[in-house]
Amino acid sequence: MAVNTNNVSSEHQSTCVPEQSILEVYFVALGQYNYDRAKELVEKEREVVRSQSNSSTWVSMLSMLSRLAVAEKNYASLTYLNPKWLFGKKEQSMRLTYTGLVTDLSSFELNGPGQPGSVQQINSFLSHICKQIHNFCEARAETVEFYDKLCPMVNQRTDVDYGELLSIVDRLIATHGDHFHHPLLSPIKQCFTLELEVLQSLLKAHHHMLDWLFLPTLLQLHNVHSKLENLGANIRFKEGKKSGVAIPSKTVGVPPLYQWLARFKAAQVSKFSLYFYGSLCKQADLKGHLSNLLIDYRAKIIAFHKKADAMNVSLVYDTNNAKDVFKGHGYHHPDSPHEVPTGLDSYPAIFSYPEEKPPIKLWPMVVMLLNSKAAELTDLDRVIYSFDKTQSMTYFVTRLEGRFSLVVIFNFKKSERDSYIKLFMQEMNLNLRGSNMFAGLGQKS
């Protein structure tokens, strides 16, 4: 249940020092993304106590809390990922903002206490809180560094190492999970933890999808859904079209960071619906569900197939040296025996249109192209063209990422320069490539 940031109960005020009451409301406001309210609160309090001779410690802390509120607002806005240049110099990075706070908080912890009686007791309490905030700012600085690492990957034309990214998030959770545990900081601790856990599950889902593991991917996406709901508990939503999730209303000041996480999840669900369409279509009527996704890949393929007069569009999975033995669509008992696919069967079409399976007579050429052009296909932007004169068949091939490739086949000769075909394949490539979602980090949603 959300806490009202405008009121602190009279009973609580009677049992807490004024500083603690202010801190409680301040941290609840931060946890509810109400950064302006948090900043206004501490600045008003600072003006009230500035004239008091025995309040220098509290005044200093209020100044740092005001800076923290500004830092948190900028962090959630993601604008720092598009650095600006002023008079030939790069603006101070978000990471330096937090490390600067860390330095000042360290000084405060050393110099805060030191007066007798009740003042010393209050200063000791404030120093302890500052130590907790110090740890939070250290964690934020490292998280900023992680997002800085993600942004350039959108331009990467080779596979992203999602295992490495996942290990960084795992380390952030393990290192900082218990370093700011005071009850007053619980609102920002909850947001910090949920944000990283959403990222962790998104990366795990993508990692499992690259190995074409249905159930582990599904469980991680469900985990993301639950944690996003908790993270956005204080946000008012309106349902967005073609989203796959409830898209936050832009009129209520929803942080772009949250919007990006929601869209990342929606993109993963869209891709999941294509990669595992063969399993999902057996469980329910998917037509209505697919139309509500961020991207309905099946509808895109059907529209392209009709307009381009293609014979077949297939998503191909390379099972060679895969993590698990390929068992095909559907549910399989983990201990059920399956032979390792060989030959043409080691390159199954996990999605095919218009038929559930592409014509087998065409598959030797597809497999030959995937093997002979493997070096060229490491460039994820590359579209390979081949015309088979003996069969009068045209093949277009592009690798999406990992073990997945997109193949379009025509039963007549097509021009290598056909712009509509190449545009379709490049668009599919960009959308299905996981690193494409990192572009939204440096842009306002």
Q: Answer yes or no: is 266 within a domain.
A: no
Q: Answer yes or no: is 181 within a domain.
A: no
pLDDT band at 3; cut points 50, 70, 90: very low
Residue 442: per-residue pLDDT: 62
Q: Considering its fold, how many domains does the chain have in total?
A: 2
Range of the domain at 357: 296-437
CA nearest neighbour of 165 among 152, 184, 178? 152
Rounded Cα–Cα distance for residues 191 and 34 (Å): 13
Q: What is the mean pLDDT of residues 29-37?
A: 94
Rounded Cα–Cα distance for residues 363 and 349 (Å): 10
Residue 14: per-residue pLDDT: 36
Domain closes at, from 121, 155, 189: 155
pLDDT exceeds cutoff 90 at 10: no
Residue 100: per-residue pLDDT: 94
pLDDT exceeds cutoff 90 at 112: no
Q: Answer yes or no: is 203 within a domain.
A: no
Residue 351: per-residue pLDDT: 97
Give me the CATH number covering residue 328. Answer: 3.30.450.240
Q: Answer yes or no: is 53 within a domain.
A: yes
Q: Answer yes or no: is 272 within a domain.
A: no
Q: Please give the span between the terminal C-alpha atoms of the chain, in angstroms, as a whole number.
A: 27
Residue 267: per-residue pLDDT: 94
Q: Answer yes or no: is 202 within a domain.
A: no
Tokens of 386: 């081949």
Residue 118: per-residue pLDDT: 62
Asked whether the beta carbons of 150 and 443 are under 8 A apart, the reply is: no
Asked whether the beta carbons of 227 and 192 are under 8 A apart, the reply is: no
pLDDT band at 15; cut points 50, 70, 90: very low
> How high does pLDDT run on average in the chain?
86
pLDDT band at 436; cut points 50, 70, 90: confident
Asked whether the beta carbons of 19 and 41 are under 8 A apart, the reply is: no
Lookup result for tokens 């080779």:
158
Question: What is the share, in percent, of the chain residues with pLDDT greater than 90?
Answer: 62
Q: Answer yes or no: is 46 within a domain.
A: yes
> 252: how many CB neighbours lie within 10 A of its CB?
11
Domain closes at, from 155, 184, 215: 155
Rounded Cα–Cα distance for residues 243 and 236 (Å): 16
Q: What is the pLDDT of residues 241-288, one digit of tens each?
A: 444 444 444 444 688 999 999 999 999 999 999 999 998 987 767 777
Q: What is the mean pLDDT of residues 437-442?
A: 75
SS3 string, the chain, reads CCCCCCCCCHHHHHHCCHHHHHHHHHHHHHHCCCHHHHHHHHHHHHHHHCCCCCCHHHHHHHHHHHHHHHHHHHHHHCHHHCCCEECCEECCCHHHHHHHHHHHHHHHHHHCCCCCHHHHHHHHHHHHHHHHHHHHHHHHHHHHHHHHHHHHHHHCCCCCCHHHHHHHHHHHHHHHCCCCCCHHHHHHHHHHHHHHHHHHHHHHHHHHHHCCCHHHHHHHHHHHHHHHHHHCCCCCECCCCCCCCCCECHHHCCCHHHHHHHHHHHHHHHHHHHHCHHHHCCCCCCHHHHHCCCCCHHHHHHHHHHHHCCCEEEEEECCCCCCCCCCCCCCCCCCCCCCCCCHHHHCCEEEEECCCCCCHHHHHHHHHHHHHCCCHHHCCCCCEEEEECCCCEEEEEEEEECCEEEEEEECCCCCCCCHHHHHHHHHHHHHHCHHHHHHHHHCCC
pLDDT exceeds cutoff 60 at 134: yes
Q: What is the pLDDT of residues 158-177, one digit of tens each?
A: 888 999 999 999 999 999 98
Domain closes at, from 115, 132, 155: 155
pLDDT, greater one: 412 or 321: 412
Asked whether the beta carbons of 102 and 137 are under 8 A apart, the reply is: yes
Q: Give residues with Cβ within 8 angstroms of 150, minimum separation 6.
A: 165, 438, 441
Rounded Cα–Cα distance for residues 23 and 248 (Å): 28
pLDDT, greater one: 266 or 334: 266
Residue type, 144: V
Residue 347: per-residue pLDDT: 96
Rounded Cα–Cα distance for residues 188 and 133 (Å): 10
Q: Give residues with Cβ within 8 angstroms of 254, minimum separation 6.
A: 33, 232, 235, 248
Rounded Cα–Cα distance for residues 9 and 6 (Å): 10
Q: What is the pLDDT of residues 40-59, one digit of tens each?
A: 999 999 998 887 755 678 88
Q: What is the pLDDT of residues 68-94, one digit of tens each?
A: 999 999 999 998 887 654 444 445 589
Q: Answer yes or no: is 251 within a domain.
A: no
